[in-house]
Amino acid sequence: MNLKKPPARTLDLKRTEVKLTASVNSNDKVKTALFKFTCCAGCQFALLYFFHQLPETLELLDFVYFKMAMRKELEEPYELAFVEGGVSTPEHIEQLKAIRSQAKVLVAFGACAAHGGIPSIKNWQTERAVEENVYPDPLLVSSIKVSPIDEFVKVDYHLRGCPIDEVEFMELIRSVAADKSPYIRGHPVCVECKLRNNICILLMREGVQEGMCLGPVTRAGCRAVCTSNMRACFGCRGPMSNSNIPEMVRTFMGKGFSAKDIEMRFTEYAGLSAEFSEGARAYYGRKTPYYHRKAA
Amino acid sequence: MKSKSALRLENLDILIEAVLQKHLTYGPLAKDGEYAWQKIDPKSNPYMGCAVTMLPAKHILQPVWQDIYSFKFGNGFQIKEPELAEKIALFGISPCDVNSILALDRVFGGRLIDPYYWKRRENTLIVAANCTEVAGESFCTSWDTGPELYSNYDLLITELSDGYLLEVGSPKGEDVVAVLNLPKATQDHLNEKAVRLNAARAATKKKLPVAPDDLHRFLKERFNHPAWVPNSDACFSCGNCTIACPTCYCFDIRDEVMPSRSIGVRRSEWDSCQLLEFAEVGFHANFRRLRIDRFKHRTIHKLSWMKQQYGLTGCVGCGRCVRWCPSWPERRGRITSLADPVEIVTDLMEPSERYEGIERPGGVIA
Amino acid sequence: MKNPYIVEPAVITGIRQETAETKTYTLEFIEQKRGLEFIPGQFNMISLLGIGEGPFSITSSPLQRNKFEHTIRLVGSLTKALDRLSIGSTVGVRGPYGNGWPVDSVKNKDIVIVAGGVGLAPLRGLINLVAEQRDDFGEIEIMYGSRKPDNLIFTSEYGNWRAVPNMRLFLTVDEVPKGIEWPYEQGVVTNLLGFSRIDPSNAFAFMCGPEIMMRFIARSLIIRGFAEKNIFASLERRMECGMAKCGRCMIGPKYVCIDGPVFSYPEVKALPHNLLTAIS
Ligand SMILES: Cc1cc2nc3c(=O)[nH]c(=O)nc-3n(C[C@H](O)[C@H](O)[C@H](O)COP(=O)(O)OP(=O)(O)OC[C@H]3O[C@@H](n4cnc5c(N)ncnc54)[C@H](O)[C@@H]3O)c2cc1C
Ligand code: SF4
Ligand code: SF4
Ligand code: SF4
Ligand code: SF4
Ligand code: SF4
Ligand code: FES
């Protein structure tokens, strides 16, 4: 892996002091490729920021393709594929299927790949409305809806979150290298929030937006970063394994949040998931998003 | 304990300092407008009232994350146990929490002793504080686990109108206060303590509507009561009621490994029976897949089964689950905490017919 | 204070492929030249450090102390990693845990053993104990069923079992794939009870397998005249510690790891959230 000498136009990684351990030869490493579709590339960027972990990451993974960090074009075969971003063009679908046929392990990398993420907010409006909103002359463009990658291919593991979490990422690559299934939390953010001895902002910050915490229905794994910093969870990791959406909606209603507030909270990151779209629909009058999810 | 001696204490600072001499000391300190168990120093001001802290003091004896051991492997393996020798003090722990520790003692004791808990426990100085006021969520009087502590302390503080009464309950406590040369307390002080604690008892309005000894039969009879349905439908399965509970002890064990360096740790993390994954086995089979089964398991384990297993109550009435449950549905015309044992028991007292025709709202059940 | 979480290294000295996804491993402790003292039906926690730990029944006879056996089916991470091991590899072992079958109370009694799939594993130690101490027990009937003929475990021992006086083995499978010769029964394992020649009034029944299956077996046994208190089942729950600390294996007030895994039928009946005695 050639992160040691970063090419001119990529990030300066010097301060991470990347040292490859001589004892590990690169044949033992997992050949890895990282692809990007529709997203802000923030998760790749975050990956570069996990600098305490970079030495170990590079001991375990041999990146054959990683646009943000390496100039190298994709040519070698790979076993582990990280796919960042949602699917929004027909070419994406083709590319994705090709990735699936090559990779032994395919990982949805970040909220956009896992649930559509921020770009998926537009799925809740007609394409026409989106185009008119964004472009001066809608005739110039033709946009399509965004969808999570597992709508088209089988995904082995999801690294959820906007952006992905460092600890979960390390757990995933260590597990892949050791050939065991990683521990991906199914329980809600509340668990990690409480384990960190936090007070509950949903209960303590009644009636203000900062207290509109989606923690009880959102999947943990982020170490409750937001609530630990006194900010409500806005559900960037999507639904937990057994979420109770009707109760979440009732709780928000009881605290005086409007239908619009509730819809916005549920659709911000994972509105395309069956669970969160149920929450968004609940009081918005609309039965389904305009783009209704269906299996590939 | 016969040899109890009662002393007068002008202010807490000198006691805190004496305890700090030899102990890593924890106490309930203010955090974000609430209280949380944190390390204290001579300047801090631990709360001596009924603090329904976020996590209970349990997390000091049985940490949320605990390295069981680290290991190195290759050809065979070597195991390295962590060292735990530090002396700990729990400063200002309330009577209900001391009672919860007695229950945990039985859980982590028994035939196969959990060495991590016990090493910390043996090195722990309990500086308890009686509650002269009981928080609105708490119902310790129902179990007689508070507001007064009768035994099992090293030192016991009771706030008086001026200064404090300090009772010594063990040689360990004696050692700490010996250097302070405190004056003996008078009968007046002891009388004032009794008056104050009786007042606190009388002021505690929240009460379990079923006598503790009767709960076992009560819950058994109502295992299929329809009130469980609306209760569990309002539950997020978020686990807060168990993570915050001072007598909950369940945990998970996982290995973390750095494959390239052939080292790793086996680690435990608190877990909760309210979570879907708790009872899951291979091929995703799960014996408590339904939310209602998990909700029942927690409630009945706290209120009855723990007593059956360990002979001590599994709920000490601290009120943490009441305080920290994010779900507050309407019951009997009032907005109440879903996890509140008193409310659940009250619901179960209603005749079944009351629930006839109540439709199950469409909760998502995995 | 001995730390009960510490695993002792044991080396794999033998591996036998039972089915495509099940292997029997022979283990010997490396350090202490002590053996393992146990009751059939008890289990060990087997660790592969870095991967995880899981409960597995001891399947060898308790009379053989210096080495012991485990029969393990491929399920998830841990069992997959165990499957990759070869002779000479080291695993971590702690145990034995659990109560085991009530061996002492069945001395001189007739026993019907009913098992499904890999559920025969915790019963093999008992069967071999009976074979070795034949005079201490009454008649033994083994009723064993599985999905397909090639899912049967311990096939190499059936000959020995059949050769033991007053020990009878009956086999059944749910389906027989085309082209495979199958001289035994076809259908659910409860059907085999029809072949029983044991007088149920004073006999014991031991069973292990999927809980739903055991529900039907237990009903048939009761109908045939077995006393409920003489019916025992080995239950399976999620386990992390094996010693009543982690709470994972709880069924109502009982810990499967110390109060079980073997429970009598009346005991199970008193437990919530079990599929064995659930009414449906
Ligand atoms: C008393 C007892 C005796 C057993 N005896 C045998 C045996 O003789 N042969 C055999 O093949 N299997 C046996 N099992 C089942 C065996 O423990 C599981 O199949 C195994 O733990 C699965 O681990 P895994 O990591 O491969 O699966 P995963 O699904 O990856 O497991 C993840 C986690 O769940 C736990 N877990 C998963 N399934 C079970 C389960 N069924 N019971 C307890 N914990 C589980 C594991 O310990 C692990 O921590 C027994 C289980 C119990 C409770
Ligand atoms: S702040 Fe949010 S995540 Fe934390 S406990 Fe409260 S509801 Fe749950
Ligand atoms: S607390 Fe919520 S919004 Fe914040 S990172 Fe975690 S899942 Fe995302
Ligand atoms: S059940 Fe609730 S009130 Fe009882 S001890 Fe636990 S947290 Fe406290
Ligand atoms: S209530 Fe649940 S988490 Fe708490 S001790 Fe009981 S089983 Fe464990
Ligand atoms: S009762 Fe309340 S705290 Fe407990 S799991 Fe349900 S919602 Fe969470
Ligand atoms: S396995 Fe931990 S309590 Fe039974």
In a domain, B330, yes or no: yes
pLDDT of residue A179: 84
Domain ends where: B203, B237, B260?
B203
Q: Which ligand is nearest to the CA of B245?
A: 4
Reported as a pLDDT band with limits 50, 70 and 90, residue B86 is confident
Same domain for B154 and B255? no
Given CB atoms, is B261 within the 8 Å cutoff of chain C?
no
Number of domains composing chain B: 2
In a domain, B123, yes or no: yes
DSSP for B140-179, written as a single string: GGGTT-SS---SS-SEEEEE-SSSEEEEE-SHHHHHHHHT
Please return the burial class of B277, using the count of CB atoms within 10 Å of its CB with bins 0-12, 13-18 and 19+.
middle
Q: Which ligand is nearest to the CA of C260?
A: 1
DSSP for C72-113, written as a single string: EE--SHHHHHHHT--TT-EEEEEEEES----TGGGTTS-EEE
Return the ligand 5 atom nearest residue B305 CA: 6
Q: Which ligand is nearest to the CA of B288?
A: 5
Of A190, A197, A250, the CB nearest to B240: A190
Lowest mean pLDDT among A131-135, A213-217, B159-163, B173-177: A131-135
In a domain, B10, yes or no: yes
Which segments within chain A are labelled E, that is strand?
30-36, 61-66, 80-84, 105-109, 157-159
Q: Which residue of A has its CA nearest to C52?
A: A180
pLDDT of residue A142: 65
Of B253, B273, B287, the CB nearest to C241: B253
Distance CA A156, CA A174 (A): 15
Same domain for B96 and B73? yes
Task: List residues bridging with C186 in a β-sheet.
Answer: C173
**Domain with B40 in it:** 4-203
C65-78: b or e for each residue (b if 16 or more CB lie within 10 Å)? Answer: eebbbbbbbebbbb
From-to residues of CATH 3.40.50.80 in chain C:
103-274
Distance CA C226, CA A22 (A): 67
The mean pLDDT value for B131-159 works out to 90
How many Å from the N-terminal Cα to the C-terminal Cα in chain C?
A: 48
Same domain for B16 and B37? yes
Maximum CA pair distance of chain B?
A: 71
Q: State residue C87 phi and psi, 5-degree precision.
A: -60, 135
Rounded to the nearest angstrom, the distance between the alpha carbon of B88 and the centre of ligand 7 is 28
Minimal CA separation from A5 to chain C, in Å: 33
CB pairs under 8 A between B and C: 118
Reported as a pLDDT band with limits 50, 70 and 90, residue C99 is very high
Same domain for B250 and B216? yes
Same domain for B175 and B223? no
In a domain, B13, yes or no: yes
pLDDT of residue A15: 31
Residue C122: is its pLDDT beyond 50? yes
Q: CB–CB of C4 and B115 under 8 A?
A: yes
In a domain, B365, yes or no: no
Quickly count: other Cβ atoms within 10 Å of residue C151's Cβ: 19
Rounded to the nearest angstrom, the distance between the alpha carbon of C247 and the centre of ligand 5 is 7
Residue C48: is its pLDDT beyond 50? yes
Reported as a pLDDT band with limits 50, 70 and 90, residue A127 is confident
Q: For an interface test with C, which of A171, A174, A181, A184 has the most C Cβ atoms less than 10 Å from its Cβ?
A: A181
Same domain for B29 and B130? yes
Q: CB–CB of B257 and A56 under 8 A?
A: no
Q: Which residues contact A128 (CB under 8 A, 6 or more apart)?
A: A138
pLDDT of residue A16: 31
How many distinct helices (H) and strands (E) make up chain A?
12, 5
Distance CA A242, CA B85 (A): 41
* Average pLDDT in chain A: 81
pLDDT of residue A168: 94
The mean pLDDT value for B333-362 works out to 80
* Average pLDDT in chain B: 89
Cβ atoms of B52 and B29 closer than 8 Å = no
Instruction: List chains touching B (3+ CB pairs under 8 A).
Output: A, C
From-to residues of CATH 2.40.30.10 in chain C:
8-97
The mean pLDDT value for A182-195 works out to 95
Task: Identify which has the larger pLDDT, C101 or A28.
Answer: C101
pLDDT of residue C140: 93
pLDDT of residue A159: 95
pLDDT of residue A38: 87
Of A174, A202, A247, the CB nearest to B363: A247
Q: Which residue of B has its CA nearest to C250?
A: B279
DSSP for B202-262, written as a single string: HH-----SS-GGGHHHHHHHTTT-TTHHHHHHT-----HHHHS-TT---EEEEEEEEGGGT
The mean pLDDT value for B252-260 works out to 88
Lowest mean pLDDT among B1-15, B102-116, B241-255: B1-15
Element (H, E) at A134: helix A127-134
pLDDT of residue A12: 33
Task: List residues bridging with A82 in a β-sheet.
Answer: A34, A107
**Structural domains of chain A, ranges and CATH numbers in brackets:** 13-177 (3.40.50.700), 189-284 (no CATH)
Distance CA B84, CA B102 (A): 21
Show residues of chain B in contact with C237, CB under 8 Å: 279, 281, 287
Residue-wise pLDDT tens digits, A239-288:
999 999 988 988 888 888 888 888 889 988 988 888 898 888 876 555 44
B75-86: b or e for each residue (b if 16 or more CB lie within 10 Å)? Answer: eebebeeeebee
pLDDT of residue C94: 93
Q: Which ipTM was obtained for this model?
A: 0.90
Residue-wise pLDDT tens digits, C58-96:
999 999 888 999 999 999 899 999 998 889 889 999 989
Which tokens is A182 given? Answer: 């990683």
Given CB atoms, is C49 within the 8 Å cutoff of chain A?
no
Residue A294: is its pLDDT beyond 70? no
- Pick the closest to residue B86 from B20, B183, B4 (CA basis): B20
Quickly count: other Cβ atoms within 10 Å of residue B41's Cβ: 10
Reported as a pLDDT band with limits 50, 70 and 90, residue C279 is low
Q: CB–CB of A194 and B239 under 8 A?
A: yes
Q: Which fold has domain C8-97?
A: Elongation Factor Tu (Ef-tu); domain 3 (2.40.30)
Same domain for B198 and B221? no
Distance CA C141, CA C131 (A): 12
Cβ atoms of B327 and A247 closer than 8 Å = yes
Q: CB–CB of A60 and B256 under 8 A?
A: no
Task: Identify which has the larger pLDDT, B259 or C26.
Answer: C26
The mean pLDDT value for C257-264 works out to 93
Same domain for B159 and B286? no
* Average pLDDT in chain C: 91
Show residues of chain C in contact with A178, CB under 8 Å: 50-51
Q: Which residues line ligand 5 (CB under 6 A)?
A: B 242, 245, 248-250, 272-273, 298, 301-302; C 247, 250
Residue-wise pLDDT tens digits, A139-157:
766 667 888 999 899 999 9
Distance CA B145, CA B9 (A): 25
Which tokens is B128 given? Answer: 């308890």
Q: State residue B145 phi and psi, 5-degree precision.
A: -95, 5
Reported as a pLDDT band with limits 50, 70 and 90, residue C1 is low
The mean pLDDT value for B268-289 works out to 90
% chain A with pLDDT above 90: 38
Same domain for B217 and B193? no
At the top level of CATH, which class does the domain C103-274 belong to?
alpha beta
Reported as a pLDDT band with limits 50, 70 and 90, residue C32 is low
Distance CA B359, CA B330 (A): 16
Long-range pairs for C178-182 at CB < 8 Å and ≥24 separation? Answer: C180/C149, C180/C150, C182/C149
- Pick the closest to residue B326 from A223, A225, A227 (CA basis): A227
Rounded to the nearest angstrom, the distance between the alpha carbon of C276 and the centre of ligand 3 is 41
